[in-house]
A and B are shown apart, each in its own frame.
Chain A
Amino acid sequence: KNQVEQSPQSLIILEGKNCTLQCNYTVSPFSNLRWYKQDTGRGPVSLTIMTFSENTKSNGRYTATLDADTKQSSLHITASQLSDSASYICVVSDMRGGSNYKLTFGKGTLLTVNP
Protein backbone atom coordinates (compact mmCIF):
# COMPACT_ATOMS: atom_id res chain seq x y z
CA LYS A 1 0.00 0.00 0.00
CA ASN A 2 1.32 3.45 -0.95
CA GLN A 3 2.10 5.57 2.09
CA VAL A 4 3.65 8.93 2.88
CA GLU A 5 4.92 9.52 6.41
CA GLN A 6 5.94 12.94 7.63
CA SER A 7 7.91 13.91 10.71
CA PRO A 8 7.78 15.58 13.05
CA GLN A 9 4.04 15.94 13.47
CA SER A 10 4.56 19.44 14.82
CA LEU A 11 7.50 21.74 15.39
CA ILE A 12 8.02 25.04 17.20
CA ILE A 13 11.03 27.21 16.40
CA LEU A 14 12.15 30.76 17.00
CA GLU A 15 12.11 33.35 14.25
CA GLY A 16 15.36 33.43 12.33
CA LYS A 17 16.22 29.79 13.00
CA ASN A 18 16.48 27.05 10.37
CA CYS A 19 14.51 23.83 10.39
CA THR A 20 14.15 20.61 8.39
CA LEU A 21 11.00 18.63 7.80
CA GLN A 22 11.10 14.97 6.75
CA CYS A 23 9.03 12.88 4.36
CA ASN A 24 9.40 9.12 3.84
CA TYR A 25 7.35 7.31 1.22
CA THR A 26 6.64 3.86 -0.11
CA VAL A 27 4.90 4.94 -3.32
CA SER A 28 5.74 2.87 -6.37
CA PRO A 29 6.27 3.38 -9.26
CA PHE A 30 7.48 6.82 -8.31
CA SER A 31 6.72 9.77 -10.56
CA ASN A 32 7.26 12.97 -8.59
CA LEU A 33 7.22 14.46 -5.11
CA ARG A 34 5.67 17.77 -4.15
CA TRP A 35 5.81 19.96 -1.06
CA TYR A 36 2.85 22.21 -0.27
CA LYS A 37 2.42 24.94 2.32
CA GLN A 38 -1.03 25.35 3.83
CA ASP A 39 -1.81 28.40 5.93
CA THR A 40 -4.60 28.07 8.47
CA GLY A 41 -7.97 28.45 6.80
CA ARG A 42 -6.56 28.42 3.28
CA GLY A 43 -5.87 25.92 0.54
CA PRO A 44 -2.41 24.38 -0.01
CA VAL A 45 0.09 26.26 -2.17
CA SER A 46 2.78 24.45 -4.11
CA LEU A 47 6.39 25.05 -3.03
CA THR A 48 8.36 22.53 -5.13
CA ILE A 49 7.85 19.62 -7.50
CA MET A 50 10.70 17.13 -8.03
CA THR A 51 11.01 14.23 -10.41
CA PHE A 52 13.13 11.11 -10.07
CA SER A 53 16.21 12.73 -11.60
CA GLU A 54 16.21 15.80 -9.36
CA ASN A 55 17.76 15.67 -5.91
CA THR A 56 17.58 19.34 -4.89
CA LYS A 57 15.23 22.16 -5.72
CA SER A 58 14.98 25.59 -4.12
CA ASN A 59 12.22 28.16 -3.92
CA GLY A 60 13.51 31.19 -2.05
CA ARG A 61 14.23 30.18 1.54
CA TYR A 62 12.76 26.72 0.94
CA THR A 63 15.03 23.92 -0.28
CA ALA A 64 13.71 20.44 -0.95
CA THR A 65 15.88 17.36 -1.33
CA LEU A 66 14.99 13.98 -2.74
CA ASP A 67 16.75 10.64 -2.36
CA ALA A 68 14.85 8.27 -4.63
CA ASP A 69 16.97 5.32 -3.53
CA THR A 70 16.03 5.59 0.13
CA LYS A 71 12.63 7.10 -0.71
CA GLN A 72 13.16 10.11 1.50
CA SER A 73 12.67 13.83 1.03
CA SER A 74 13.32 16.81 3.24
CA LEU A 75 12.22 20.42 3.21
CA HIS A 76 14.72 22.84 4.70
CA ILE A 77 13.58 26.30 5.71
CA THR A 78 16.28 28.90 6.16
CA ALA A 79 16.06 32.00 8.36
CA SER A 80 12.48 31.31 9.33
CA GLN A 81 9.88 34.08 9.44
CA LEU A 82 6.61 34.37 11.33
CA SER A 83 4.79 33.91 8.03
CA ASP A 84 6.33 30.44 7.69
CA SER A 85 3.92 29.24 10.37
CA ALA A 86 1.75 26.74 8.48
CA SER A 87 1.23 23.07 7.76
CA TYR A 88 3.70 21.58 5.27
CA ILE A 89 2.37 18.68 3.25
CA CYS A 90 4.40 16.14 1.29
CA VAL A 91 2.64 14.57 -1.70
CA VAL A 92 3.98 11.72 -3.83
CA SER A 93 2.64 10.80 -7.25
CA ASP A 94 2.89 7.35 -8.75
CA MET A 95 2.64 6.73 -12.45
CA ARG A 96 0.65 3.80 -13.67
CA GLY A 97 0.98 4.56 -17.35
CA GLY A 98 -0.16 7.35 -19.66
CA SER A 99 -2.01 10.01 -17.72
CA ASN A 100 -3.12 7.52 -15.12
CA TYR A 101 -1.68 8.51 -11.77
CA LYS A 102 -2.46 8.64 -8.09
CA LEU A 103 -1.43 11.18 -5.48
CA THR A 104 -0.68 10.01 -1.94
CA PHE A 105 -0.73 12.74 0.69
CA GLY A 106 1.09 12.92 4.00
CA LYS A 107 -0.65 14.21 7.12
CA GLY A 108 1.58 17.25 7.19
CA THR A 109 3.95 18.87 9.69
CA LEU A 110 2.55 21.82 11.61
CA LEU A 111 5.27 24.45 11.95
CA THR A 112 4.95 27.32 14.40
CA VAL A 113 7.48 30.15 14.26
CA ASN A 114 7.55 32.26 17.40
CA PRO A 115 9.05 35.74 17.76
Chain B
Amino acid sequence: ETGVTQTPRHLVMGMTNKKSLKCEQHLGHNAMYWYKQSAKKPLELMFVYSLEERVENNSVPSRFSPECPNSSHLFLHLHTLQPEDSALYLCASSQDSPGTLNEQFFGPGTRLTVL
Protein backbone atom coordinates (compact mmCIF):
# COMPACT_ATOMS: atom_id res chain seq x y z
CA GLU B 1 0.00 0.00 0.00
CA THR B 2 1.23 3.48 -0.83
CA GLY B 3 -0.47 5.11 2.14
CA VAL B 4 -2.91 6.99 -0.08
CA THR B 5 -6.47 5.67 -0.18
CA GLN B 6 -9.32 6.66 -2.46
CA THR B 7 -13.05 5.99 -2.28
CA PRO B 8 -15.05 4.89 -4.04
CA ARG B 9 -12.93 2.73 -6.34
CA HIS B 10 -15.66 2.70 -8.97
CA LEU B 11 -18.46 5.18 -9.61
CA VAL B 12 -21.19 5.30 -12.23
CA MET B 13 -23.26 8.45 -12.38
CA GLY B 14 -25.72 10.23 -14.60
CA MET B 15 -25.07 13.68 -16.00
CA THR B 16 -27.44 15.32 -13.53
CA ASN B 17 -26.04 13.64 -10.40
CA LYS B 18 -23.85 15.16 -7.74
CA LYS B 19 -21.16 12.95 -6.26
CA SER B 20 -17.87 13.33 -4.42
CA LEU B 21 -14.57 11.51 -4.60
CA LYS B 22 -12.54 11.18 -1.43
CA CYS B 23 -8.81 10.86 -0.92
CA GLU B 24 -6.95 10.33 2.34
CA GLN B 25 -3.21 10.16 2.87
CA HIS B 26 -1.62 8.55 5.91
CA LEU B 27 1.93 9.72 5.18
CA GLY B 28 2.02 13.05 6.99
CA HIS B 29 2.46 14.90 3.70
CA ASN B 30 1.68 18.56 3.16
CA ALA B 31 0.73 18.58 -0.52
CA MET B 32 -2.07 16.75 -2.33
CA TYR B 33 -3.03 16.49 -5.99
CA TRP B 34 -5.89 15.46 -8.25
CA TYR B 35 -5.10 13.94 -11.66
CA LYS B 36 -7.29 12.75 -14.52
CA GLN B 37 -6.17 9.75 -16.57
CA SER B 38 -8.08 9.08 -19.79
CA ALA B 39 -7.46 6.15 -22.10
CA LYS B 40 -4.46 6.65 -24.41
CA LYS B 41 -3.78 10.14 -23.03
CA PRO B 42 -1.14 11.36 -20.59
CA LEU B 43 -1.99 12.04 -16.98
CA GLU B 44 -3.49 15.52 -16.59
CA LEU B 45 -2.88 17.51 -13.43
CA MET B 46 -6.15 19.09 -12.26
CA PHE B 47 -5.54 20.64 -8.84
CA VAL B 48 -2.71 21.05 -6.36
CA TYR B 49 -3.09 21.84 -2.67
CA SER B 50 -0.22 22.79 -0.41
CA LEU B 51 -0.87 23.15 3.31
CA GLU B 52 -4.59 23.14 2.53
CA GLU B 53 -4.34 26.05 0.11
CA ARG B 54 -4.97 25.62 -3.59
CA VAL B 55 -1.79 26.51 -5.44
CA GLU B 56 -2.63 25.35 -8.94
CA ASN B 57 -5.77 24.97 -10.99
CA ASN B 58 -5.10 23.89 -14.56
CA SER B 59 -8.12 25.38 -16.31
CA VAL B 60 -10.42 22.68 -15.03
CA PRO B 61 -14.16 23.13 -15.77
CA SER B 62 -16.19 24.40 -12.84
CA ARG B 63 -18.21 21.17 -12.77
CA PHE B 64 -15.18 19.82 -10.85
CA SER B 65 -14.82 21.43 -7.42
CA PRO B 66 -12.00 20.45 -5.07
CA GLU B 67 -11.99 20.75 -1.30
CA CYS B 68 -9.12 20.26 1.13
CA PRO B 69 -10.38 20.51 4.72
CA ASN B 70 -7.02 19.47 6.20
CA SER B 71 -3.65 18.20 5.02
CA SER B 72 -4.78 14.55 5.16
CA HIS B 73 -8.01 14.77 3.19
CA LEU B 74 -8.88 15.87 -0.30
CA PHE B 75 -12.25 15.78 -2.02
CA LEU B 76 -13.36 16.26 -5.60
CA HIS B 77 -17.00 17.29 -5.87
CA LEU B 78 -18.65 16.39 -9.16
CA HIS B 79 -21.69 18.14 -10.61
CA THR B 80 -23.38 17.98 -14.02
CA LEU B 81 -20.61 15.95 -15.62
CA GLN B 82 -20.34 15.01 -19.28
CA PRO B 83 -19.66 11.55 -20.75
CA GLU B 84 -16.17 12.74 -21.79
CA ASP B 85 -15.37 13.17 -18.09
CA SER B 86 -15.33 9.39 -17.74
CA ALA B 87 -11.79 8.51 -16.68
CA LEU B 88 -9.60 7.27 -13.85
CA TYR B 89 -9.20 10.00 -11.23
CA LEU B 90 -6.00 9.70 -9.26
CA CYS B 91 -5.07 11.38 -6.01
CA ALA B 92 -1.46 11.83 -4.97
CA SER B 93 0.48 13.38 -2.10
CA SER B 94 4.03 14.59 -1.52
CA GLN B 95 6.03 15.60 1.54
CA ASP B 96 6.28 19.29 0.83
CA SER B 97 4.79 21.85 -1.48
CA PRO B 98 5.42 21.11 -5.16
CA GLY B 99 9.13 21.32 -5.82
CA THR B 100 12.07 19.69 -7.48
CA LEU B 101 12.58 16.21 -6.07
CA ASN B 102 9.44 15.65 -4.08
CA GLU B 103 8.26 12.15 -4.85
CA GLN B 104 4.53 11.84 -5.35
CA PHE B 105 2.71 8.86 -3.92
CA PHE B 106 -0.44 7.90 -5.78
CA GLY B 107 -3.65 6.32 -4.62
CA PRO B 108 -5.33 3.48 -6.56
CA GLY B 109 -7.75 5.82 -8.30
CA THR B 110 -11.50 6.06 -8.77
CA ARG B 111 -12.80 4.71 -12.07
CA LEU B 112 -15.60 7.14 -13.03
CA THR B 113 -18.19 6.43 -15.71
CA VAL B 114 -20.63 9.17 -16.69
CA LEU B 115 -23.73 7.95 -18.52
Contacts and interface: CB of A to CB of B under 8 A. Distances in A.
Interface string A80-115: 000000000101010100011101111110000000
Interface residues of A, number: 24
Interface of B is mostly: loop
Given A99-B97, A99-B99, A101-B98, A46 B104 contact: yes
A42 interface: yes
Given A105-B43, A107-B40, A107-B42, A42 B109 contact: yes
Interface string B1-12: 010100000000
Interface in A18-48: 31-32, 41-46
A11 interface: no
A107 B42 CA distance: 4
Interface in B16-71: 40-45
Given A42-B109, A46-B104, A89 B43 contact: yes
Interface residues of B, number: 23
A105 B100 contact: no
Contacts of B76: none
Nearest to B103: A46
A45 B41 contact: no
Nearest to B107: A43
Contacts of B106: 43-45
Interface in B80-112: 90, 92, 97-101, 103-109, 111
Interface of B: 2, 4, 40-45, 90, 92, 97-101, 103-109, 111
